[in-house]
Chain A
Amino acid sequence: MPHTPPQLQVGGETGQVRGRRRLVWLRLLVLLVFAVLAARLWQLQILEGDRYRLQAAGNRFALQTVPAPRGVIYDRIGRILARNVVSFDVTVVPASVPEEQEETILRTLAALLDIPLNNYAALAQASLGEDSVADPPPPLDPNCGEPGLLECFRVAKQAPYRAIRVGRDVPADRAFQLLEQAVFLPGVFVEPKPKRLYVYGPLLGHILGYMMPVSQEFLEQAPSSEEYELVDEAGVAGVEASFERELRGRKGRKLVEKDVFGREVRVLYEVPPEPGYNIFLTIDVDLQRVATEALRRGLEEVGSPRGAVVALDPRDGQILALVSLPSYDNNLFVGPISPADYQMLLEDERKPLFNTAISGAFAPGSIFKLVTASAALQEGVITPQTRLSAPGIIYLPNKYFPDDPDLAQPFYDWLPAGHGVINVVRALARSSDVFFYKVAGGFPGEIEGLGIERLARWARMFGLGELTRVDLPGEAAGLVPTPTWKRQALGETWVTGDTYNLAIGQGFLTVTPLQMANVTAAVANGGTLYRPQLVYQVQDAEGNVIKGFRPEVLRHVPVDPDNLAIVREGMRGAVAWPDGTASFAGLPTSVAVAGKTGTAEYCDPLPDLSDCRRNENGYLVTHAWFTAFAPYENPEIVLLVFVHGNGREVLEGSKVAAPIAAEILRYWFEERAR
């Protein structure tokens, strides 16, 4: 463009001409710009179109897994114990909240969900409960880090398409209120989610267990065919864990088209999920409740920290009740559990998550005499007629100086007066210690004795020292001590005194309440050791039986039925004879009950002292046991009660454990609608 000096005349000819020429340039500029834009468009749409089409599809389509409804758990007569309910989460997508309605919507939301509108309200709410300075209120959503809704929303707006979760597990009525007002609350979404509900809470906490979000390790170990994802939960305790595979079902999958908020617009393809199998437990909820209440009262009365009740059907090993106190509400784990709640459960001194009935191994005391008696009879060490003197104290001569009475070791009976000269039935009924010392360890000049090897073998034959393989995780095996074990573990030689102790269920022997219930069941049913089972039936969602109940025999304990009958006679005597150990326990008389008490000394080590806790008279503190079956002639239930020692007193099985069993048996035989 040539340079021309400014024109002075208004609207002069030169200006006119130049103006028109400039307009030609303007046309060229228009063409050029639109050509550039068209070229760019060609590049995006034609040259790179495929790439963007893929991205658009990635935006819109998602292959989603559809969670399978978890199986429902019932008790033996079909009462629902665990089921799935809907829980509602409330989320807000900042991008779809109209700016001019922001304040109104957030206010409504805060009021409906009862969440703090701003940080100030959150602070006020947090410090309301306590007098002292409160902890800082928790963030509303981890993504925003602010406890107040307004502040949280403001932070979340920086990534406006990411939803913030402002309400978890909102009550159904609130959720429906929100849904009704959905038109006035754009950007607020209510998301239904399945949630496990444990109808009876702590009553069945230990049996049903709970689920937790799967860990990275779990994912790596699980076979890929089971299709676990990081967002899934899996049972980690109780039946939820041991029947995870049955309860879980099979995930479905679907290809969906979704909008920008992730909401499903259209399902293009779907493989429906297969619901998990429903499980019927062998548990009778009513018996469980009665047993729990009886045990709870019993524990409170003596100030015991924990206890257990096991009820079995001796004819097939079905578990009718399995109580462990203290328990916990497994609904706490739904949702999933908050770190604070979990911490609280783990740090609770009473260890509520510990299943005493199957995981606790304790000295059984005199209830072990069932094993000693059965073994001695079967090995021919004694006959039913064999009578031994059972004084209040015996002196075991020193092995190396058998003639020096000063070196002899005294062994005491629980009854200082002793029981006279008695046979095995009476020894069981009176729970003579000395009789069983002699039978197990021998006594010079009177009886040869079983010896440790044979006694230990019989103990293992009755299932002690090994898992019962009950359908629950976390079972303990307990310990049946042997000379080899003692040498290896303690570096000491086995002595006859150890055998004496083992004979009456003391010393190194530890057992779980469930193991002892199973021993009793074997005695009651004539020698069959069943695997204790919790599941009566597995059904698919249509009610077809996938797996019915079949008794599983762990072992036929090779004791002649006649010999077991003798042991049962002793147990009956303990209950029925006026001087039987359980005769004053108030056991029901309407049914013939047979039982065995146990008062097991245990060492509760004192800090700083090389001694264990003792009562005021210097005796070691004890656990209280009672194991029973009924009816005597035709046993249909085995009941075992364990009350952990309180650390201060001698808790006698006959006074502490047997009355609890009495209450439960009275219910079972007298009050239960049969």
Chain B
Amino acid sequence: MNRRAWRNFDYSLLVLSLTLVAYGWLMVRSAQPPDRPYALYQLLWIGVGLVCSLGVSLIDYRLLNHLARPLYVVLVLALGMVLVMGRTAFGGQRWLAVLFFTVQPSELAKVGLIVILATFLGRRAVGFRTVAISFLLVVPLAGLIFLQPSLSTALILFAIWGGMLFVAGAPVRYFLSGGVASVAALPLAWNYVLQEYMRERIRIFLNPLADPGGSGYNLLQSRIAIGAGGLLGQGYGAGGQSQLGYLRVRHTDFIFSVIAEELGFLGAFVLFVLLVILLFRLIHIAQEARDAQGRLIVAGVAVMIFFQAAVNIGVNVGLLPPTGVSLPFISYGGSNLITLFLGLGLAQSVALRRHALEFD
């Protein structure tokens, strides 16, 4: 690659993501149980993620055109394998042991889908036919993931699909009619699509006090933790709810509650600002992209991050029913972090090649 191209390297994207990851690392360190050195592992994942990110950014995203089909096949196969022989963990078969570490193919499917959809949508005008075919592309992936079962990841895939269609310029009436259709399908989904544990989660969300010691426990405790944080928080490492174990899965899905308790409204607000700036930066890169495929890739990455952050925080503050969505860059987790860095690598790849002239 041309040396001049490095002038287009988006350093602010790198700095922003590193700032978020550092913030997350500090909070994982605060939230980790005394006998589980999650922060240490997280350092490893950050390192692996950064390498992946840089590696991907070196690849010209336009070459991914050729990769889209095989990638799709590989993803479907991998997700199928998870169903057949995956390790059972946390009630779902989402993990697949590859060599020395386990990966969650469903995480990688998010980035994979972005690449595939960008390739597919970037070359076509977004009419009904395109929308329908792209929908058929998403369904097998989302379906396999739903069966693991992981409703939240399946929903993320649909969110990415919807976001990318929107940016690709699909007519607004599609979204409106899609919305109406979804609402109409809700009772059907409740009875035939949702599994019992999912229905239970939603019931508990609507009335957490029904079983405060059992399933409603975490909802109440996270709300208490956040509320107790106040404006300035109780201090790093000093959150009573977090440190004494009242918050469950606090290093992953409920790490936002730890931030809110220990660093208060201000700490959470700083996180919001960082996330918004990062998203704006990604959108900016999308706007600057030299072609539709690049624009769609970056938009897909932005939608993925945005959707996950919004859902995770929404769950934490009690606006949404609990789902297993992690907070991007902040939550502990390898597959998750690597997925994000792969996404940022793709965005960087698009940024590096934003002006056609410089590659002449």
Contacts and interface: CB of A to CB of B under 8 A. Distances in A.
Interface stretch (B66-74, B150-158, B268-276): B268-276
Interface centre among A1, A48, A52, A258 (most CB of B within 10 A): A52
Main secondary structure, interface of B, reads helix
Interface in B233-278: 240-241, 244-246, 248, 260, 264-265, 268-269, 272, 275-276
B125 A44 contact: no
Given A37-B313, A159-B213, A19 B225 contact: no
Given A26-B283, A49-B230, A55-B224, A37 B317 contact: yes
B231 A45 contact: yes
Given A26-B167, A48-B227, A15 B292 contact: yes
B154 to A, nearest CB: 21
A161 B217 contact: yes
B240 A23 contact: no
A49 B306 CA distance: 27
A45 B318 CA distance: 13
B244 A257 contact: yes
Contact of B223 (A6, A7, A9, A44): A44
A6 B226 contact: no
A23 B221 CA distance: 37
A260 interface: yes
B126 interface: yes
Interface string B134-145: 000000000000
Contacts of B213: 159, 161-162
A202 B47 CA distance: 71
B214 A60 contact: no
Contacts of A29: 306
Contacts, number: 173
B119 to A, nearest CB: 12
Given A22-B169, A26-B299, A55-B224, A44 B317 contact: yes
A161 to B, nearest CB: 6
Given A23-B287, A100-B89, A6 B126 contact: yes
SS class, residues of chain A in contact with chain B? helix
Interface in A1-60: 1, 3-4, 6-12, 15-16, 18-20, 22-23, 25-27, 29-31, 33-34, 36-38, 40-42, 44-46, 48-49, 51-53, 55-57, 59-60
Contacts of A41: 226, 260, 265, 268-269, 317
Contact of A52 (B168, B172, B226): B226
A60 B276 contact: no
B169 A33 contact: no
Contact of B265 (A23, A42, A48, A59): A42
Given A41-B268, A160-B214, A3 B171 contact: yes
Given A1-B172, A99-B89, A258-B244, A22 B125 contact: no
Contacts of A51: 227
A261 interface: yes
B291 interface: yes
Given A15-B169, A30-B306, A41-B260, A265 B317 contact: no
Contacts of A37: 272, 310, 313-314, 317, 319
A158 interface: yes
A98 to B, nearest CB: 10
Contact of A19 (B163, B168, B226, B317): B168
A152 to B, nearest CB: 16
Contacts of A113: none
A53 B226 contact: no
B272 A27 contact: no
B41 interface: no
B124 interface: yes
Identify the interface centre among A7, A37, A57: most chain B CB within 10 Å of its CB.
A37
A33 B229 CA distance: 22
Contacts of A45: 226-227, 229-231, 260, 264-265, 268
A633 interface: no
Contacts of A4: 171
A95 interface: yes
Contacts of A260: 244-246
B29 to A, nearest CB: 19
Among A16, A41, A162, which residue has the most Cβ atoms of chain B within 10 A? Answer: A41
B90 interface: yes
A34 B226 contact: no
Contacts of B128: 6
A227 interface: no
A259 interface: yes
Interface residues of B, number: 65
Interface string A232-270: 000000000000000000000000011111000100000
B280 interface: yes
A52 B215 CA distance: 20
B245 A259 contact: yes
Given A37-B314, A45-B260, A53-B230, A10 B244 contact: no
A107 to B, nearest CB: 18
Given A10-B124, A41-B260, A52 B275 contact: no
B75 interface: no
A313 to B, nearest CB: 59
Contacts of A44: 223, 226-227, 260, 317-318
A95 B248 contact: yes
B4 interface: no
A594 B221 CA distance: 79
B279 interface: yes
A36 B313 CA distance: 11
B173 interface: yes
Contact of B224 (A9, A26, A38, A56): A56
B31 interface: no
A324 B314 CA distance: 73
Contacts of A258: 244
Contacts of B167: 19, 22-23, 26
A4 B125 CA distance: 12
B353 interface: no
Given A38-B269, A159-B211, A33 B310 contact: yes
A25 B306 CA distance: 14
Nearest to B226: A44
A46 to B, nearest CB: 6
A41 B225 CA distance: 12
Contacts of B214: 158-162
B163 A26 contact: yes
Given A3-B173, A45-B229, A265 B244 contact: yes
A48 B224 CA distance: 10
Nearest to A160: B214
A243 B90 CA distance: 56
B350 interface: no
Contacts of B246: 56, 59-60, 259-260
A59 B222 CA distance: 12
B314 A52 contact: no
Nearest to A10: B123
A33 B295 CA distance: 22
Contacts of B231: 45-46, 49
A31 B276 contact: yes
Nearest first, the 3 A-B pairs at minimum CB distance are A52-B227, A6-B127, A56-B228
Given A38-B268, A42-B265, A60-B246, 16 more contacts: A6-B171, A19-B295, A26-B167, A27-B279, A30-B306, A33-B306, A34-B272, A45-B265, A48-B227, A52-B227, A55-B228, A59-B244, A60-B240, A161-B217, A260-B244, A261-B245
15 contacts: A8-B125, A19-B168, A23-B283, A37-B310, A42-B265, A45-B229, A49-B228, A52-B223, A56-B228, A60-B241, A100-B89, A159-B211, A160-B214, A161-B217, A162-B214
